[in-house]
């Protein structure tokens, strides 16, 4: 056991300078962030955007995140009072269609229809689709609305010849627009524009773990700039008392290639 004089003669313990400790901590933090970023799986793009009738209707599709057996359809349209539609099939006379229009209250609604000729198609027994999100007010810059719907990719188990599955190969589709007014479930006038197209990539996916980058800033700034994703606080313990001497708030902002089909609801009321 050491006596008092021996204790006094001993050199005090040497701790690394605070600047060195901070440098090491920052290096470890940078390495951890780098590993988190570079270890993310590759990101596949969603299907292409296709527009029709002078961009009165634009359409895009992709697999539902985390569920490759489901697919999302995103519609962007300038049609405020009429109806819009796309159908899987060679033409509107034999297609598995979804028609969308706004109610008098401004909400978007839809009806799945199975066409068998050049008459108003009847509503399908199985509606299949789910309305995920929509904008009630047109974007003040583009004048467009957005509607996101979801359906199973598999063909419905009915005996209707017009039932179609969503496939990732070249898929024949049709589109139609009625740009008039006064529409409803029992009043769907004949289209004013229509056509056919081929869609490839309806089941392309977006990785659920996206490539991200650290974003420093206050919560209000992040929200104003549309930052989404994980967020948290990194704290570094100081030597004295083991208390945090500084902290860094962070969040992941997804890169552009990571974004899934989502309506921008910043202008919705």
**pLDDT computed for residue 77 by the predictor:** 95
Copy the structure tokens of residue 104: 């008098």
Residue 6 or 256, more confident:
6
Beta-strand (E) ranges in 22-93?
Answer: 50-52, 57-64, 67-77, 83-91
**pLDDT computed for residue 72 by the predictor:** 92
Distance in angstroms (rounded) separating the CA atoms of residues 216 and 90 = 50
Provide mean pLDDT across the span 222-249. Answer: 39
**pLDDT computed for residue 165 by the predictor:** 94
Distance in angstroms (rounded) separating the CA atoms of residues 200 and 197 = 10
Q: Using 50, 70 and 90 to split pLDDT, how confident is the model at 251?
A: very low
Question: What are phi and psi for residue 190, nearest 5 degrees?
Answer: -60, 145
Residue 69 or 241, more confident:
69
**pLDDT computed for residue 65 by the predictor:** 83
Chain centre distance of CA 34 = 25
Give the end-to-end CA distance of the chain in Å, rounded to a whole number.
77
Distance in angstroms (rounded) separating the CA atoms of residues 146 and 66 = 22
Q: Using 50, 70 and 90 to split pLDDT, how confident is the model at 79?
A: very high
Return the percentage of the chain with pLDDT > 70, whole number.
Answer: 59
Provide mean pLDDT across the span 171-176. Answer: 94
The whole-model pTM stands at: 0.64
- Residues present in the chain in total: 269
Choose the weakest-confidence range: 20-24, 132-136, 161-165. Answer: 20-24
Closest CA to 77 of 98, 61, 58, 62: 58
Distance in angstroms (rounded) separating the CA atoms of residues 119 and 223 = 48
Copy the structure tokens of residue 260: 């899934």
Q: What DSSP string runs through 189-248?
A: PPPSEEEEEEE--TT----SS--EEEE-S-HHHHHHTT--S-EEEEEEE-SSTT-EEEEE
**pLDDT computed for residue 107 by the predictor:** 94
Domains assigned to the chain: 50-200 (2.60.40.1210)
**pLDDT computed for residue 173 by the predictor:** 95
Contact residues for 164 (Cβ-Cβ < 8 A; gap 6+): 88, 89, 95, 96, 155
Mean pLDDT computed over every residue of the chain: 71
Cβ–Cβ contacts within 10 Å for residue 155, how many? 14
Strand, helix or coil for residue 16 = coil
Q: Using 50, 70 and 90 to split pLDDT, how confident is the model at 88?
A: very high
**Is the pLDDT at 148 greater than 50, yes or no?**
yes
Q: Using 50, 70 and 90 to split pLDDT, how confident is the model at 120?
A: confident
Choose the weakest-confidence range: 3-12, 42-51, 108-117, 156-165. Answer: 3-12
**pLDDT computed for residue 228 by the predictor:** 35
Residue 202 or 222, more confident:
202
């Amino acid at each position: 056991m050491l006596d008092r004089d021996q204790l006094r003669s001993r050199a005090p313990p040497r701790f690394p300078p605070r600047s060195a400790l901070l440098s090491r901590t920052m290096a470890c933090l940078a390495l951890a962030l780098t590993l988190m970023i570079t270890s993310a799986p590759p990101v596949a793009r969603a299907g292409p955007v296709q527009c029709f009738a002078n961009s009165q209707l634009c359409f895009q599709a992709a697999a539902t995140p985390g569920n490759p057996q489901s697919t999302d359809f995103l519609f962007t349209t300038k049609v405020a009072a009429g109806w819009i539609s796309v159908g899987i099939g060679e033409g509107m006379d034999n297609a598995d269609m979804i028609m969308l229009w706004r109610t008098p209250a401004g909400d978007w609604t839809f009806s799945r229809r199975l066409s068998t000729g050049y008459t108003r198609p009847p509503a399908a027994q199985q509606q299949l689709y789910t309305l995920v999100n929509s904008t009630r007010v047109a974007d003040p810059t583009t004048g467009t609305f957005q509607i996101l719907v979801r359906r199973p990719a598999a063909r419905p188990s009915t005996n209707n010849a017009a039932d179609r599955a969503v496939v990732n190969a070249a898929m024949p589709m049709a589109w139609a627009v009625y740009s008039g007014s006064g529409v409803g479930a029992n009043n769907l006038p004949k289209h004013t524009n229509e056509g056919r197209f081929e869609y490839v990539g309806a089941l392309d996916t977006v990785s659920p773990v996206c490539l991200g980058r650290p974003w420093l800033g206050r919560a209000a700034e992040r929200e104003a700039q549309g930052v989404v994703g994980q967020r948290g606080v990194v704290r570094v313990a100081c030597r004295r008392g083991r208390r945090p001497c500084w902290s860094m708030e962070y969040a992941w902002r997804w890169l552009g290639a990571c974004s899934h089909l989502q309506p921008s609801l910043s202008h919705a009321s």
